């Protein structure tokens, strides 16, 4: 007679799988994707390496899922902040840049892992989707700003890609794992500088504290 999993065994399996994912995410947050080996994940969960592989086809697939979860959390936070910023495009773009940059500067190790750490092609595919989410969000904001004559640019999609590229690249030196953590004052200076640059690139006055110019 074939074995049929019960609701309890399915629940236990789901819980164990979730524990592996949480352990991997903690390892990534502490020391990047390179630290999230199958052996380290198994040790953290007091399980065998084979047990981990019984839930995931490969380490790459496991880490891709970790990336998707962590990236989705960051995108949701930024999207919520943008929605709460009001209708004015300058306010919304200011919040996008502020929250994205601020969280990267506060959670430098995870930010480095999501944005810059060398990863496998499977995980890199998730990174491209992650970047596209921000580009899509920025594009809509810039389109709204163009309609309201807040921004000046011939191509909203290209401008959004350029803005997010500028934000990410400006953060490199501040979130590198081997760099000293910035002070609160330095963080604010970096965020203000990035916002100012992006708004000037879009032909808009720099909004104080992300507000309306």
- Do 180 and 111 lie in one domain? The reply is yes
Cα radius of gyration rounded to whole Å, the chain: 20
- Do 104 and 156 lie in one domain? The reply is yes
Predicted local distance difference test score (pLDDT) of residue 192? 95
- Do 179 and 98 lie in one domain? The reply is yes
- Do 135 and 170 lie in one domain? The reply is yes
2 by Cβ neighbours in 10 Å (0-12 / 13-18 / 19+) ranks as exposed
Reported as a pLDDT band with limits 50, 70 and 90, residue 6 is confident
Average the pLDDT over 19-27 and give the result. 96
CATH number, domain with residue 153: 1.10.357.10
CATH number, domain with residue 27: 1.10.10
- Do 28 and 102 lie in one domain? The reply is no
- Do 80 and 160 lie in one domain? The reply is yes
The rounded percent of the chain whose pLDDT value lies above 90 is 87
- Record the tokens describing residue 45, joined without a space: 């969960």
Please give the backbone phi and psi of residue 18, each rounded to the nearest 5 degrees, phi first: -65, -35
Number of domains the chain is built from: 2
Task: Write out the residue range of the structural domain in which residue 25 sits.
Answer: 1-56
Predicted local distance difference test score (pLDDT) of residue 10? 72
Predicted local distance difference test score (pLDDT) of residue 170? 97
- Do 161 and 196 lie in one domain? The reply is yes
Q: What is the pLDDT of residues 32-82, one digit of tens each?
A: 999 999 999 999 999 999 999 999 999 999 999 999 999 999 999 999 999
- Do 88 and 184 lie in one domain? The reply is yes
Q: Cβ distance 111 to 175 under 8 Å?
A: yes
Predicted local distance difference test score (pLDDT) of residue 213? 43
Domain boundary among 56, 80, 95: 56
Indicate if the pLDDT at residue 1 is higher than 90. no
- Do 6 and 84 lie in one domain? The reply is no
- Do 45 and 73 lie in one domain? The reply is no
Q: What is the pLDDT of residues 175-207, one digit of tens each?
A: 999 999 999 999 999 999 999 999 999 998 765
Q: Cβ distance 63 to 46 under 8 Å?
A: no
Share the mean pLDDT of the chain: 92
Torsion sign, CA atoms 204, 72, 84, 139: positive
Q: What are the b/e assignments for 117-137, b being 16+ CB within 10 Å?
A: bebeeebeebbeebbebbbeb
- Do 204 and 140 lie in one domain? The reply is yes
The rounded percent of the chain whose pLDDT value lies above 70 is 93
The conformation of residue 181, written as its DSSP 8-state character, comes to P
Predicted local distance difference test score (pLDDT) of residue 210? 43
Predicted local distance difference test score (pLDDT) of residue 181? 94
Among the residues of the chain, which ranges form H helices? Answer: 7-31, 38-44, 49-53, 59-84, 89-106, 108-115, 121-147, 156-175, 184-201
Domain boundary among 36, 56, 76: 56
Rounded to whole angstroms, how far apart are CA atoms 124 and 146?
Answer: 32
Domain boundary among 56, 85, 102: 56
- Do 47 and 86 lie in one domain? The reply is no
């Amino acid at each position: 007679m074939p074995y049929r999993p019960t609701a309890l065994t399915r629940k236990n399996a789901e819980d164990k799988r979730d524990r592996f994912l949480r352990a991997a995410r903690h390892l990534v947050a502490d020391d990047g994707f390179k630290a999230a080996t199958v052996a380290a994940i198994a040790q953290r969960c007091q399980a065998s390496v084979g047990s981990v592989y019984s839930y995931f086809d490969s380490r790459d697939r496991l880490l891709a899922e970790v990336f998707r979860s962590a990236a989705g959390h960051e995108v949701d936070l930024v999207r919520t902040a943008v929605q709460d910023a009001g209708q004015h495009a300058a306010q919304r773009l200011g919040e996008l840049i502020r929250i994205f940059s601020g969280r990267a500067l506060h959670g430098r190790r995870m930010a480095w892992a999501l944005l810059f750490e060398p990863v496998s092609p499977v995980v890199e595919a998730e990174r491209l989707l992650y970047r596209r989410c921000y580009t899509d969000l920025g594009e809509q904001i810039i389109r709204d700003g163009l309609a309201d004559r807040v921004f000046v640019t011939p191509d909203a999609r290209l401008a959004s890609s350029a803005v997010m590229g500028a934000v990410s690249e400006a953060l490199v030196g501040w979130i590198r794992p081997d760099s000293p953590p910035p002070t609160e004052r330095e963080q604010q200076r970096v965020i203000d500088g990035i916002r100012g640059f992006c708004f000037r690139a879009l032909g808009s006055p720099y909004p104080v504290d992300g507000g309306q110019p």
